[in-house]
């Protein structure tokens, strides 16, 4: 019985290593998917920010220099 102990321990360690490798691989894949979608949303947010700031700037300039009010 003692002679089989190292083999059982080795097998248990191999199974554990395979499970943790698979888990790490899944985590890495999830991170890559999240990173691939981040630039698209960042671009959309920047575009909307520029549009909003531009319209506010245009409104302020028209009120200052043209004397118009809405």
- Average pLDDT of each block of 10 consecutive residues along the chain (70 residues)? 60 63 73 69 92 96 80
Give pLDDT, residue 25: 76
Helix (H, G, I), strand (E, B) or coil at 35: helix
Please write down the HEC assignment for all residues of 5-25: HHHHHHHHHHHHHHHHHHHHH
- pTM given for the model: 0.42
Structure tokens at 65: 């220099």
Give pLDDT, residue 30: 74
69: left (phi over 0), alpha (psi -120 to 50) or beta: beta
């Amino acid at each position: 019985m003692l002679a089989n102990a190292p083999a059982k321990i080795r097998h248990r360690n191999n199974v554990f290593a395979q499970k943790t490798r698979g888990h790490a691989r899944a985590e890495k894949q999830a991170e890559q998917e999240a990173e691939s979608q981040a630039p698209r949303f960042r671009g959309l947010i920047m575009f909307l920010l520029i549009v909003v700031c531009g319209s506010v700037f245009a409104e302020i300039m028209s009120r200052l220099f043209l004397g118009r009010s809405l």
